[in-house]
Amino acid sequence: MAETAVMASFLTAAVGLAVPLALAALGETVSERAGVINIGIEGSVICGALGGALGSLAAGPYVGLAGGATAGCAAALVFAVFAVHLNTDQIITGAAVALGSLGFTGAVFQSRFGATGVALELETVPAWEVPLLSHIPIAGPALFHGAATVYLVYLLVPALWWFLFRTRWGLALRAVGEAPEAAQAAGLPVKATRTLAVLFGGLLGGLAGAHLSLVHTGTFSENMSAGKGFVAIAIVVLGRWDPRGVLAAALFFGCAEALQFALQAMDVDLPYPLLLALPYVLSLAALAGWFGRSRAPAALALPWPKRPG
C-alpha cells in the first residue's frame, strides 16, 4: 500500500515536471519542422511565466494562461522578425532573444515588485478530475487529475501528429522545412509559413512558462525558466521531430528529474549531477543515431533565401 502511494506521488511529480517541457518541445517541433530552430523558445518560456503571473494577478488564472501564451508569442514574434524576415542567423538570434527575454522579464518584475523581489502567491489554475479515469491505481491521479495545461498536452500530441503528417497544410509546412526553394516554386509562402510556425511555437512556449508560474509553483521569480526551453530543444531531437516521440521524451525527462529528487529524499547516496546529466547524454546518443535513424529537417537553421557567397 505504501509502495503504491510512493509510486503515485512519484508519477505525479514526473508528469508535473514533464508538462512544461512537453508544451515547449511540441511548439519547437512545429517550428523546426518548418526549418526554423528557435532557441529563443527559452525566452518565450520566461515571458510566458511572467505574463501568466501578471495576468493571474489582474484577472485570475485563466486570463493568466492567455497572458502567458500571448507573452510567449510576443517573444517569438521578435525572433521571427529577425530570423525569418531579416534572415539573420537563427542560432545567434535565438540566443539574443533568450537572453534579452531574461533581462526584460527581470526588469519588468523588479519595476513592478521592487528590486529585491517578493515571493508572489499566485492564484493557480485549478485541477480537473476526470471521473473514473482518475481512480485508476497509481497512474490515475498523475494523469487524470491535473490542470488544463496537462489535458492540452494530451490533445496536442495526436492533433499535431495528424496535422503534420496527414494534412496538406502539414505537408506544406514540412516542405518548407525540407526544401524551401522547391516549396516556393510550388507556390507556397515560405516566410509566412515559417512565421506562423515560429509564433505557434512561441505560444506553446509561453503556455509552458505559464504552467511553471500558475500550475506548478504558484509564484514567479527571475530566471525561473532555468533552461527549460533549451531542454525542450534537446527533447525535440530525442523525440525525432515527431509529436509522439516528443511526448515520450518529455515524460522521460520528467521521470528522470522526479527520480533524482525522490532518490535524494530517500537518502540514496548517488552523486546528483550524474542523474541530472542522464537525459542530456541520451539526447546526444539520439543525435548520434544510436536509437535508429533520426534526421533533422533538411533546411533546419539554414538561411533562406540563401545568402550570396
Positions in 2-61 near another protein (CB under 8 A): 6, 9, 13, 16-17, 20
Helical packing angle, 228-238 and 272-287, nearest 10°: 40
If one asks whether residue 276 binds another protein (CB under 8 A), the answer comes out as yes
**Which of residues 167 and 264 has its CB atom nearest to another protein in the complex?**
264
- Pick 120 or 156: Cβ nearer another protein: 120
Of 123, 128, 113, 112, the residue nearest 214 (C-alpha): 123
Q: Which residue of 114, 137, 187, 292 would you call a contact of another protein, by CB under 8 A? A: 114
Kindly indicate which of the ranges 29-37, 102-110, 151-159, 291-299 contains the residues binding another protein, using the contact rule CB under 8 A. 102-110
The one segment of 54-62, 93-101, 139-147, 181-189 that binds another protein by CB under 8 A: 93-101
218 binds another protein (CB under 8 A): yes
Q: What are the CB-based long-range contacts (under 8 Å, 24+) for 188-197?
A: 190/304, 191/84, 191/85, 193/34, 194/34, 194/35, 194/36, 194/80, 194/84, 194/304, 195/80, 195/84, 195/85, 197/30, 197/31, 197/33, 197/34, 197/36, 197/173
Q: Using the minimum distance from each CB to another protein, give the nearer residue, 62 or 104.
A: 104
Per CB under 8 A, 129 contacts another protein: no
The string of DSSP letters for 72-124 reads HHHHHHHHHIIIIIS---HHHHHHHHHHHHHHHHHHHHHHHH-TT-----PPP
In the list 257, 279, 286, 299, the residue contacting another protein (rule: CB under 8 A) is: 257
- Find out whether 30 and 200 touch, Cβ atoms under 8 Å: yes
Question: Rule CB under 8 A: which residues touch another protein?
Answer: 6, 9, 13, 16-17, 20, 78, 82, 86, 88-89, 92-93, 95-97, 99-100, 102-104, 106-107, 109-110, 113-121, 212, 216-224, 226-227, 257-258, 261-262, 264-267, 272-273, 276
